[in-house]
Amino acid sequence: MAECIHGLEIPLCDACYPKAQPEKPKAVRASRATPAAAAPARVAPVRSSRTSINAGAQRIYHVTHIRNLDVIAAAGALVSGATPTVDVSSTLTRELRKSAPVAAATSAVADSASVADYVPFYLAPDAVLWDDLRAGALDAKL
């Protein structure tokens, strides 16, 4: 399937192929001659912009320095807690990730788990970091 400029499959990109806006219901005024209790109640249908998302087909994006690719390839996966050859995250980001607790959704997750215990990734191809990379932002980490 073809991809848009954001790297998404064409039907999944709302930026390149926005969905039609739902029609807004028109306001109806009650007649003064008809008591409000006698007028039939008009209930607008519930509309939802939510669509079913196939999470298995959703792409995720991870940022790393090119010199880290050898270690990732040798491990065969991104591994949380691995020490990268070049760490592109700032000291503040690392501290914030260590101090942000993760709620234990299952008994498999330790009570003391933090965001730093997991591999960071993005779900959107238009995150600020990607925009900075495309624009050639002057950042020593990039």
Would you mind telling me the total number of residues written for the chain in this entry? 142
List all residues 6 or more positions away from 28 whose beta carbon is below 8 Å from its beta carbon.
42
Burial readout 108-120 (b: 16 or more C-beta within 10 A, e: otherwise): eeeeeeeebeeee
Do residues 61 and 125 touch, judged by C-beta distance below 8 A? yes
The verdict on pTM exceeding 0.75 is no
Token digits of residue 84: 């990268």
pLDDT in tens, 15-64: 777 777 767 766 666 555 555 555 555 555 555 555 666 767 777 888 88
* pLDDT for 49: 54
Domain boundaries, the chain: 66-135
Provide the pLDDT confidence category of residue 69 given band limits of 50, 70 and 90.
very high
pLDDT in tens, 71-89: 999 999 988 888 889 888 8
What end-to-end distance do the CA atoms of the chain give, in Å? 31
